[in-house]
Amino acid sequence: MTTETTKDPKQYPILRNLQFSPIKQGEDQFIVLWDPTGLSKDKLVLPLNYFFIVQHFDGEHSLTDIVGLYLKRFGEFLMPNKVEQLVAELDTKLFLEGDRADTARQQIQEEYRQAPVRTAIFAGRSYEADGTKLKKQVEGFFTSKEGPDYKPSSNAGKLIKALVTPTYDLKQAGPIYAWAYKELQEATQPDVYVVIGTAYAGMESLFAVTDKDFEIPIGLVRADQPILSQLRERRPDSFNDDLCHQAEHAIEFQLPFLQEAVGSKKPFTIVPILCSFSALSVSEPETLNQVTSFLDTLEEILKKDGRSYCVIAAGELAHLGMRYGDKEPPTDFSFHRSMQRDLEMLKPVEELKADEFANYIIKEQDQRRISGFAPIFSLLRLIEAEKGEVLRYDRGITDQYNSTVTYASMAFF
């Protein structure tokens, strides 16, 4: 009988699930690290040789191992105290797994659960923090050159069933959001909006639900307590990761548009859900069964409730470039090839064929990192509609190396 010994985290450090991006300063290249969960507010800029070190903070390599790998890679000896200093700095910044991060996580979770509302985290950063200015900003997205303006929709007056929207920074992608929300603005509007967003920071569960109301500068967006209480009763596990909602932007970015498109006319409520699973993962029966089980429960509750509802899938499409793991920056040719594939991939979405949508990405081995798969797949499993339509498609550039994110707006009737 063998017993597994616990490795000393000081000697076998584990880097948390951080995000990173290459940056240039003159002719020199660096990597900036930050925490997408919001547990740490710090950023850390590292030279490439130090980034090589932290890439081996996986709990499997000891500091001694890393010193040896560094010597082999760079041909110079790394003083052990330099690595120890780096470990200490990362731990102080809450960038490493361990007691310090666990304590901070527990504290922030208690604060979130005791808070009366989920506050507007991105107001003043990604959109206007003043209510009056935000209303004008949203209106400007509709009337801008890239926006839909106010020409009548061919679907005006029909009961809208669902939207696919971006989650990209509103200052850049706002007009693309507006294409989807114009359809909602002119449609027969449901009372309940199931807003399913991508959990970009990742999470333990496949779905994370919160029953918090969301506060934004133009008013409080209320969570639908009757539906959420039933969901909590039947799927209490889906509320375990509710802390993820505190720092994620996918749902928050929809709310100024919802308030303007619907809230100015009638009261409405939301069912806020974050999700995190890939097309490759749902090819595994166990994951697919878990996803299907949750969505079937949610659909039963929605139908039993009897009110009409609209599902909003908030997520992006392809992620191209060095920031996302590619070895080279995207070229115009590679972007246009990806655009063609995106639009091919969205054909089965327009036709409400969830399995074909998943299979397209699986055939590509998800090489383009379709982060909006989970909310879009969920949408297709939840709605009954006649058709879907891609309204607008665009991209955003995320760093100095032309790393690219693509996104689209869609509507379903």
pLDDT digits (tens, 9 = 90+) for 338-392: 999 999 999 999 999 999 999 999 999 999 999 999 999 999 999 999 999 999 9
pLDDT for residue 351? 98
**Greatest alpha-carbon span in the chain:** 74
**β-pair type (28-34, 43-47):** antiparallel
Closest CA to 250 of 118, 111, 348: 118
pLDDT band of residue 150 (cuts 50, 70, 90) is confident
pLDDT for residue 16? 95
pLDDT for residue 60? 95
Q: What are the φ and ψ backbone dihedral angles of 267, each rounded to 5 degrees?
A: -70, 150
Q: What is the mean pLDDT of residues 124-128?
A: 96
Sequence-distant (6+) residues with CB within 8 A of 386 are 413
Residue 6 pLDDT > 90:
no
Going 262 to 264 to 265 to 268, the CA torsion angle's sign is positive
Name the residue type at position 15: L
Distances in whole angstroms, Cα of residue 115 to Cα of each of 102, 112, 214, 314, 349: 20, 5, 11, 25, 38
Q: What is the mean pLDDT of residues 84-105?
A: 95
Say which CATH topology domain 19-106 has.
Answer: Outer Surface Protein A; domain 3 (3.90.930)
pLDDT for residue 316? 98
Contact 206, 275 (CB under 8 A): yes
Domain 118-412 is in which class? alpha beta
Most confident stretch, 79-93, 150-164, 300-314: 300-314
| 57-76: pLDDT as tens digits | 999 999 999 999 999 999 99
Percent above pLDDT 70 for the chain: 99
The rounded Cα 171 to chain-centroid distance in angstroms is 17
Q: What is the mean pLDDT of residues 312-337?
A: 95
Residue 4 pLDDT > 60:
no
pTM of the model: 0.90
Q: What is the mean pLDDT of residues 215-220?
A: 96
| 158-193: pLDDT as tens digits | 999 999 999 999 999 999 999 999 999 999 999 999
In the numeric block, which tokens belong to residue 19?
Answer: 């995000």
| 29-55: pLDDT as tens digits | 899 999 988 899 999 999 999 999 999
**In the chain, which residues fall in CATH 3.90.930?**
19-106
**In the chain, which residues fall in CATH 3.40.830.10?**
118-412
pLDDT for residue 5? 61
